[in-house]
Structure 1
Amino acid sequence: MHERAGTPAQSQDLIDVDSLLGDYYDRVPDPQIAEQRVVFGTSGHRGSAADTAFNEAHIVATTAAIVEYRASQGTDGPLFLGIDTHALSGPAMETAIEVLAAAEIDTRVDARGGFTPTPAVSRAILVANGAASPTGLRTSGAGLADGIVVTPSHNPPRDGGFKYNPPHGGPAGSDATSWIAARANEILTGGAWKHVKRVPYERAKRATCVQPYDFMAAYVAELPSVLNLDAIRDGGVRIGADPLGGAAVEYWGAIAEEHRLDLTVVNPNVDPRWSFMTLDWDGKIRMDCSSPYAMASLRTLMDGGDAPYDIATGNDADADRHGIVTRDGSLMNPNHYLAAAISYLHGGARPQWPADARIGKTLVSSSLIERVAKSLGKQVEEVPVGFKWFVPGLLSGDVTFGGEESAGASFLTHDGRVWTTDKDGLIMCLLASEMLGTTGKTPSQIHAGLVEDQGQSWYARLDATATKAQKETLKNLSPKQVRATELAGQEITGKLTEAPGNGAAIGGLKVTTADAWFAARPSGTEDVYKIYAESFVSAEHLEQVKDAATKVVSEALDN
C-alpha cells in the first residue's frame, strides 16, 4: 500500500503528454523482445509508448492483421471504431483509420468527433447485425459488422489499449486474438509494417468508406429497453455521475436530458493526465471505479447526512466498469453490488426473462452470488476471468446476467434479448438508481438483507507486482502444488484449474472448502498478480485463508 493512496495526485504523479506522444511515433518495437511484441490479454493489447509496447508500428501491424482476419472470416460489413480519453487513444485511432481507409473497409467513427464507451460500440455492432430487429440477431452471412475499441480501460494514463470485437459484439476469443497477435508480430518483423498500405489521416478521414455514426444518440435512445427509467424519474432519485474523466463524460448529460432524470455530472473534466484523480493503492493514477482509493473524492462527497445525491456512480475510462456509492459514503464492494443486482433483477423486476436461464459469474466472484441464485431457484454458470466467456449465453438469452468481480457486468433487455456482449458500466450505474426508485432501498440496503438471509462473507483481493516470467508461472499453477488437505482449518473440497461452468482453463488455481476459497492468477492487463479470497466464517478466518494463499503463491514463485 502506497503511503499516499487515496490522496490527490500531485505534479510529480502526472505524465508528460507531449513526451508520450513523441514516443508513440519515434520508438520502433523489436518483436524479438517479448515486452515489445503484440500480446492480447483478457481485453486486447495494452502497453505504454514509453516502454516501446504501444507505438505506431504496433497499431499499423495490428490493424492490418484485423483487416486480414475479418476477411478470412467473411466479415464484410461496417467496422465500428471507438476511442476513450487516454492520451494514446487519439493517435492510435488516426493510425488505424489510415490503414482501414487504405484497405477500403467500411468504417464508422463517432459523428461528434468525441469519445465512445465500450458498451456503445458493442451495442452498435449488435444492432447492425439485427439484435433489435423483429427477425433477430444474425451470426452468419454477408454484411456482418464488427468493431475496434481503442482503450486500455482503467489502466494508468501512460498506457494505450487496442481491442477487437467480432460480429458477436463482445471481446474476441483466444482463437481470434491469437491469430491477430501472431500475424501482427509477423508484420512487425523486419520492418514489414512500414510497407502496410496507408492513406494520410487528413485524406483518410474524408474517404467515402469512413462514415460518421452517432453512437451516443443510438445508445441513449435505446436505454428504456433495458432499464426502468420511469422508476428513477418518478421516484425522484438524485444521481451524481462521475465519469472519472472517461468516455462517458458526454453520455451522462445526454441521458439526463433525454430521459428527464435528476442527474448531475459531478466532474465533466477530461484531462489525459488525470490530474484530478486520487492515487490508487500502489500510488499510481488508475481509473478503477471499484477502488476505494481511486474513488476517494466521490466517497467524500457522499459521506455525511447532507449528501447531495441519493446514488453516486463512477466509471472507468471506457465506461465498461461501474462503481456505486450510497448515501452513507461507502463504495460498494463489486461483489456485494453484483449479488444485490441479481437478487433485484430476478426477484420480479424482469418478469419476461426466461425462467430457466442461468446467471453468469466468474470463478473469482463472491460465493454469495451462488447462495442468492440458489435461493431464487436459478443455476449459476461459473466461468474463468474475462467477459468473453459470457458472450454465448448473453447472445442466446440462456444467460440473463453476466458479472465479474472487477465491477463489470451486463444483462438482457426487458424482453430477454441481448443488450451488449461487453461490459456496460452505464446500465449497471443506472440500475442502482432503478433499484432505489422501485424498492425504496439502496443497493447496499438490499445487500444487507441478503447477508441476513444468506450469511455474511468477508472478501479480499490482493494485488502485487509481477514480472512476465512470474505471471507465466502463476498461470500454470497445478493442484499438486497444494499439498495440504485443509485450508484454514477446513477440509479442502476442490483444487480447480478449470471453470466448472464451461471446462475452460482458469489460468491459475482455485482452492475451495465448505465455507471459504482462494484463487491466484496473473492479471491479463497489467504486470501484477492477484490473489482472491473469501470466508463465510469471520474476518479472522479470511486472514488465515489469505495467508495460506500467499504461501502457495510464494512457494510457486520461489521454485
Structure 2
Amino acid sequence: MDGHGIRFGTDGWRGVMCDDFVVGKVELVAQAIADYLLRARDQRPLAVVGHDTRFFAEQFAAACAGVLAGNGVRVLAPARALPTPVVAFAIGQYEANGAIMLTASHNPPVYNGIKFIPEYAGPASPRITSEIEAHLARIQPSGVRKASAFEAEECDPVPSYHEHLKELVDLDALRGLRVALDVMYGAGSGVMREVLLGAGCEVDALHEWRDPLFGGLMPEPNDANLRELKGLIASGGFDLGLALDGDADRFGVVDSNGELLSSNQVLAVIALHLLEERGMRGRIVRTVATTHILDDIASAYDVECVETPVGFKHIASEMLGGGVLLGGEESGGLSVAGHVPEKDGLLADLLVAEVVAKSGRSLGETLRRIYERFGRRVTRRIDVEYPMEAKERLLGELRERPPERIGSLGVLEVRTTDGVKYLMDRGSWILVRPSGTEPLVRAYIEARDETDFAVLEGWVTRLLGTGA
C-alpha cells in the first residue's frame, strides 16, 4: 500500500531528508501509529519515542511525541540518542504498548527513517505493518492531531539494559581484554563503552562523538568503512575490534590481526560457543540468505535449524514462538534466547568478546577450528541494477526452468521461500532475490572451496548481465 507517497520497507519507512522525509510526513506516520495503538483499548496507551544521532533526529522525535500526546497516548522519551535494541528493551521495562524509533540505521547520512516496534519488542510483523498502512491511507494532513504544548516523561533504560546484558553475557570473563571500538558516530556512543569499562576491559574508542555526516561514510560496519579501526588494531596490543552501525543493531568484528570477520563467520562462532561451551540448546534460526554452516553446527548438536525469508521480523516471529537459541542474518543481525526479539549489535559484539576471553584464542584460530570440523565456506553477495519490470520474468524463469547442473554441480533442490534458491552438490547454493523497493537484484553465493565458488559466480554474473 502507498499512502501519501510513503512506502514501508522491511523495517519501517525511510527517505531522503528535505525531499521525501519531512516533518509533515513523519507526523502522518505518527498519527497512523497512534490510531493503531488506540484501537480497541480500554486504557491509555504508553509508548517510548527514541532516536539515533542523525541530523534533525530530536526534532523528528519531538514531532512524533507531539502527535502521540495529541491523541492521548502517554509518551516516554530518553534524554539522549539510544540504540534501537535499547529502545526495544525499554518497551518491556516500562510495560509500554510499543515504541517509535527514528533511525535510518546504516543508510547514507541524507536518509532518515521511522519504525514502529510493537509491544513484544521486535520488528513489526507484516500484519501490524499492514494495519498501520491502512490507517495511513485514511488520514488527511488536516486529520493529524498534535498536542499544542506538552513535555514527554523522561526515561533512561540504559542502566536496566546493562543489568540485562549480565544475564546474557559473562561480562566478568571480559576483565583485562583490550578492545578497539568503533561506534561510527552512531547511537552506540557511550552505551557500549560503559558496558566494556564496567566489565573491566581496556577500551580505545573511535568516532565516539556525534557527526550527522558520519565522517563522510555510511555508518555500516563493512571492510571499507572500518579501515581506521583495522589500522588501530594492526598497531598491536588489541585482543579484538568491535564495531556498531548507526543505530547499533548491526555488529562488526575485527580479529587481533586486523582482519574483518563476515557476519556469517560471526554467527558461526557464537552459535558453536553457545552450544558447545555453554551447553545451551534450542533452535537455530537463519534467513534464506545466511550461511548453511549454521545447519551443520545445529545438526552436530541435534538441534533444528530453521530457514526464514529475509528480514529480522521473520526471525522475531520464530523467537516469539519459543525454543529459539539463536537467530541471525548475513546482514549483521543477531539475537539470542532470553533477549528481545530484535537484532542487537551490542549483544553480538559482547558475545564475541566472551568467546575470545574464554577460549584464549584469536578469532582466526577459532574459525580455523570450525572449518576443520565443519568445512570451509566461501560466500559473497552480488548487487546488480536490474529493471523493475524485468524482475518477475527473471524469477519466473529461474523457478520454472532451473538448470540440471551448473558446471560440475548438480542442482538438487529449488526453494522459493524468498526469491529463488538452488541447493547443489557439495553443499553449494545460490539465491537470487530482487529488492522490493529498488531496481536491484541481489545474488548470494556459498561454496565449500574457491573452485566451486568461481563456477557459481561466473554463472550468476552471466545470468544478471554484469562483470561484477
1:517-553, Cα deviation, whole Å (9 max, x unpaired): 11122346766432110111x2132122123233444
Q: Which among 360, 368, 373 is matched to residue 448 of structure 1?
A: 368
Q: In the alignment, does 2:2 pair up with 1:54?
A: no
Q: Which among 104, 114, 121 is matched to residue 87 of structure 2?
A: 121
Change (3 A) 1:258 1:524: farther
Q: Which among 206, 216, 219 is matched to residue 287 of structure 1?
A: 219
Q: Tell me, in whole angstroms, the C-alpha distance in 2 between the residues paired with 1:525 and 1:171.
A: 18
Residue number in structure 1 paired with 2:357: 437
* Matched letter for residue 429 of structure 2: W
* Matched letter for residue 213 of structure 1: C
Q: In the alignment, does 2:98 pair up with 1:156?
A: no
Q: In the alignment, does 2:183 pair up with 1:243?
A: yes
Residue number in structure 1 paired with 2:308: 383
Q: In the alignment, does 2:92 pair up with 1:92?
A: no
Q: In the alignment, does 2:172 pair up with 1:230?
A: yes
* Matched letter for residue 293 of structure 2: L
Q: In the alignment, does 2:3 pair up with 1:71?
A: no
* Matched letter for residue 383 of structure 1: T
* Paired residues of 2:333 and 2:343 also in contact (CA < 8 A): yes
1:374-415, Cα deviation, whole Å (9 max, x unpaired): 122221011111111122332354111000000110112xxx
* Paired residues of 1:481 and 1:552 also in contact (CA < 8 A): no
Q: In the alignment, does 2:279 pair up with 1:339?
A: no
Q: In the alignment, does 2:6 pair up with 1:38?
A: yes
Q: Tell me, in whole angstroms, the C-alpha distance in 2 between the residues paired with 1:467 and 1:299.
A: 37
Change (3 A) 1:42 1:473: farther
Residue number in structure 2 paired with 1:197: 145
Per-residue deviation, 1:241: 1.5
1:334-385, Cα deviation, whole Å (9 max, x unpaired): 1011111100111132x4x4x4x21111111111111121122221011111
Which sits farther off after the overlay, 477-486 or 37-46?
Answer: 477-486
Change (3 A) 1:238 1:180: same
Q: In the alignment, does 2:247 pair up with 1:318?
A: yes
Residue number in structure 2 paired with 1:280: none
Normalising by structure 1, we get a TM-score of 0.78
Q: Give the secondary structure class of the aligned counterpart of 1:492.
A: strand
Q: Which among 534, 545, 551 is matched to residue 446 of structure 2?
A: 534
* Paired residues of 1:44 and 1:164 also in contact (CA < 8 A): yes
1:33-52, Cα deviation, whole Å (9 max, x unpaired): xxx721111111111124x3
Which sits farther off after the overlay, 370-379 or 240-249?
Answer: 370-379
Change (3 A) 1:458 1:61: same
Normalising by structure 2, we get a TM-score of 0.93
Q: How many residues align?
A: 463
Q: In the alignment, does 2:399 pair up with 1:480?
A: yes
Q: Which among 120, 139, 157 is matched to residue 215 of structure 1?
A: 157
Q: Give the secondary structure class of the aligned counterpart of 2:113.
A: strand
Alignment of 1:403-418 (within 5 A): 403-412=328-337, 418=338
* Matched letter for residue 149 of structure 1: M
Alignment of 1:273-284 (within 5 A): 273-275=213-215, 277=216
Q: Give the secondary structure class of the aligned counterpart of 1:104.
A: coil
Residue number in structure 1 paired with 2:75: 107
* Paired residues of 2:44 and 2:72 also in contact (CA < 8 A): no
* Paired residues of 1:58 and 1:184 also in contact (CA < 8 A): no
Residue number in structure 2 paired with 1:255: 195
Q: Tell me, in whole angstroms, the C-alpha distance in 1 between the residues paired with 2:445 and 2:349.
A: 26
Q: Tell me, in whole angstroms, the C-alpha distance in 2 between the residues paired with 1:531 and 1:522.
A: 8
Q: Tell me, in whole angstroms, the C-alpha distance in 1 between the residues paired with 2:14 and 2:297.
A: 36
Unaligned runs of 5+ in 2: none
* Paired residues of 1:89 and 1:161 also in contact (CA < 8 A): no
* Matched letter for residue 53 of structure 2: T
Per-residue deviation, 1:128: 3.7
* Paired residues of 1:432 and 1:442 also in contact (CA < 8 A): no
Q: Tell me, in whole angstroms, the C-alpha distance in 1 between the residues paired with 2:108 and 2:271.
A: 31
Q: Tell me, in whole angstroms, the C-alpha distance in 2 between the residues paired with 1:494 and 1:72.
A: 45
Identity of aligned residues (%): 26
* Paired residues of 2:37 and 2:97 also in contact (CA < 8 A): no
Per-residue deviation, 1:199: 2.3
Q: Give the secondary structure class of the aligned counterpart of 1:409.
A: strand
* Paired residues of 2:286 and 2:328 also in contact (CA < 8 A): yes
Which sits farther off after the overlay, 463-472 or 324-333?
Answer: 463-472
Q: Tell me, in whole angstroms, the C-alpha distance in 2 between the residues paired with 1:251 and 1:473.
A: 47
Change (3 A) 1:452 1:55: same
Q: Which among 493, 509, 515 is matched to residue 420 of structure 2?
A: 509
Per-residue deviation, 1:471: 6.1
